[in-house]
Amino acid sequence: MPNPSPRLTPSALPPALTPSYNVSMHRLYISALALCLLAPAATSPRDASKFIDDAEARLLTLSVESSRADWVKSNFITSDTEFLAAHADERLINATVDLVKQSAHFDKMQLPDDVARKIKLLKLSLNLATPADPRESEQLTRIVASMGGAYGRAKYCPEPGRCLELEPDLTRIMANSRNPTDLLDAWRGWHDTAAPMRKDYVRYVELANKGARELGFADDGAMWRSKYDMSPEAFAKETGRLWEQVRPLYLALHTYVRKKLRETYGEQVVPRNGPIPAHLLGNMWAQTWDNIYPLLAPKDADPGFDLTRILRERNTGPLDMARYGERFFTSLGFDPLPKTFWERSLFVKPRDRDVVCHASAWDVDSADDLRLKMCIDITGEDFDVIHHELGHNFYQRAYNHQPFLFRESAHDGFHEAVGDTIALSVTPDYLVKIGLLHQAPDASKDIGLLLRKALEKIAFLPFGLVIDQWRWKVFSGEIPPEKYNQTWWELRRKYQGVAPPVARGENDFDPAAKYHVAANTPYMRYFLADILQFQFHRALAQAAGCTQPLNRCSIFDNKEAGRKLNAMLAMGQSRPWPDALEALTGQRQMDATAIREYFAPLEKWLAEQNKGEPTGW
């Protein structure tokens, strides 16, 4: 799943190297200098305004330095680039922690609304708070760096001289093979690469919790949950409420998929009323299931086109794919991407070096240095991903006029949701308008299209919950290290109804086979985005005057929808997220009813198909 700019989710990836100078003393000097320069000498509202202005200027400088170092590290993975990126990240994190502690001088003061909000956002700006102890601070950033680097370098070598990378080798096997033996081999081979991270992860949890507690949070998970303009406890309940809204649709989809897989592989492989083996769902993590659509497609539901085939027959190149995405946004009234985007982005996997291929959108200078990092494959899936990632880039540019601490999405789920909202407009009618299709299929084919979309969107929802449900419990101590893997699979069974294809024990560390766990990136944003994107899409379709069923609406080339979208994007994080949500949708609460509306024809069809089938696991 794509992630937003590194400034949103700072990561550092260096090994344990001995520097040529005393890093700890240097960091202490920088921190002491920052304290001298920025520590408030008095406690008046004017002092608070000056403090936050100076803090923003310093953080902007450090953020740009960190982004540049992270870009180089992600595109040239070596011990040196990892080391340099780690220390750039450490400088940014430590400066932020220092400033957060200084801001306590103003905690009980009546401040102007914008200053009070900036101080609040400053306190919540980190995904990782380093402890005050310099040695522990350096150790924590190095651990996070080494786990991320290990993920980026990981390969499964089934035999001497033959190694398979996640992208594209293992991903293609999982997507295309229908041989259970090959699927199991690829699944186990990749998951086994994560086992060496377990020891580092235990120490990472200890140090991350220590840093969070020094800032006044119960643990690192509580710090993450505090970012949503509500208490950590209220946010946990909110995610549960949203899940219950969509759970009936997920259960219907799971029942249908299990039945069809049982018909393909037999009851010895896929039980009639148990969880689905995770390696059979077309994705390394069973987080989306659309790759197995050919096994599940309704009779006579073929829409009559294959976007991957169309793109390849037209000799579409990686840059062409990105140009299609840019054209979508310019049709809404947005300015084209800057020239530097095309000069500095990574579009193709290099043959001569290791890179992190995980697709991501970057705003390197928090102004106009927008970039895409993606090893583009000419597929319909990557066509959607590019539209998604450019959603991040256009969001980043829309709020770049805001003060530094407001240069974020309303909450992190908004950033992901905007990209996915644009991807929902990649409809057959849209493909006709841009010349990739001659004619859109008629409405009789919609069940197939909706099923394919549900295999991507609805299948993902419980996985989006599990990643952070597991980490919240790890950070709180509810899950001890000796039960890391056991509880991971218990949660995946509880929410997803999937099970490992082979026995897994505590010598394994399957959570870290997912990028976001290894790289310290909170994941709840993706769950929230899956909810919000349909809420956004419904509102924008209404603004565009679409009278077709929601799944057939595209906002391409509609300036009114573009105006309404830009109005929300330009707010950044200057207001609480309910204000931004209301600006676009007229609602102040996240609402999953738009998902049920979008998939209503499919949900009715699934009920017919599932008659006589056991539901649940």
Q: Is the predicted pLDDT of residue 573 greater than 90, yes or no?
A: yes
Query: Is 392 one of the catalytic residues?
Result: yes
- Lowest-confidence pick of 143-152, 251-260, 459-468, 495-504: 143-152
Could you tell me if 331 and 371 lie in one domain? yes
Instruction: Tell me whether residue 483 is exposed, middle or buried, using C-beta atoms within 10 angstroms of its C-beta: 0 to 12, 13 to 18, 19 or more.
Output: middle
Count of structural domains, the chain: 2
Catalytic site residue from 516, 523, 539, 583: 516
Domain limits at 475? 246-617
The predicted pLDDT at position 22 comes to 38
Q: How many helices (H) and strands (E) does the chain have?
A: 26, 6
* Angle made by CA atoms 74, 75, 80, in degrees to the nearest 5: 70
Reading the block at residue 215, the tokens are: 């800032």
Instruction: Please give the model's pTM, rounded to 2 decimal places.
Output: 0.83
108 in a domain, yes or no?
yes
Mean of the per-residue pLDDT values of the chain = 90
Question: Please, which residues have CB within 8 angstroms of residue 213's CB and are 6 or more apart in sequence?
Answer: 219
Task: Quote the strand ranges of 166-293, DSSP E.
Answer: 276-277
At residue 237, what is the residue type? K
Could you tell me if 266 and 118 lie in one domain? no
> What would the pLDDT profile of 303-330 be if each residue is shown by its tens digit?
778 899 999 999 999 999 999 999 999 9
160 in a domain, yes or no?
no
Could you tell me if 145 and 280 lie in one domain? no
- Among residues 94, 89, 71, the alpha carbon closest in space to that of 14 is found at 89
Q: Is the predicted pLDDT of residue 509 greater than 90, yes or no?
A: yes
512 in a domain, yes or no?
yes
151 pLDDT band, cuts 50/70/90, is: very high
For residue 209, give the DSSP letter: H
Could you tell me if 342 and 388 lie in one domain? yes
354 in a domain, yes or no?
yes
Query: Is 218 one of the catalytic residues?
Result: no
**Length of the chain as a residue count:** 617
Q: Is the predicted pLDDT of residue 444 greater than 90, yes or no?
A: no
Catalytic site residue from 416, 417, 484, 583: 416
The dihedral built from the CA positions of residue 514, 516, 520 and 526, taken in this order, carries a sign that is negative
Could you tell me if 203 and 331 lie in one domain? no
Could you tell me if 204 and 283 lie in one domain? no
Could you tell me if 450 and 511 lie in one domain? yes
Could you tell me if 523 and 447 lie in one domain? yes
378 pLDDT band, cuts 50/70/90, is: very high
Catalytic site residue from 191, 358, 387, 411: 358
> What would the pLDDT profile of 196-235 be if each residue is shown by its tens digit?
999 999 999 999 999 999 988 999 999 999 999 999 999 9
Query: Is 256 one of the catalytic residues?
Result: no
- Among residues 477, 491, 468, 501, the alpha carbon closest in space to that of 192 is found at 501
Could you tell me if 533 and 460 lie in one domain? yes
The predicted pLDDT at position 27 comes to 39
Catalytic site residue from 87, 191, 254, 388: 388
The predicted pLDDT at position 231 comes to 94
175 in a domain, yes or no?
no
Q: Is the predicted pLDDT of residue 26 greater than 70, yes or no?
A: no
Catalytic site residue from 191, 254, 392, 411: 392
447 in a domain, yes or no?
yes
For residue 194, give the DSSP letter: T
Query: Is 26 one of the catalytic residues?
Result: no
Average pLDDT score over residue span 88-107: 89
Query: Is 516 one of the catalytic residues?
Result: yes
Could you tell me if 204 and 260 lie in one domain? no
Could you tell me if 371 and 484 lie in one domain? yes
Catalytic site residue from 56, 165, 389, 603: 389
The predicted pLDDT at position 311 comes to 96
Could you tell me if 144 and 286 lie in one domain? no
414 in a domain, yes or no?
yes
183 in a domain, yes or no?
no
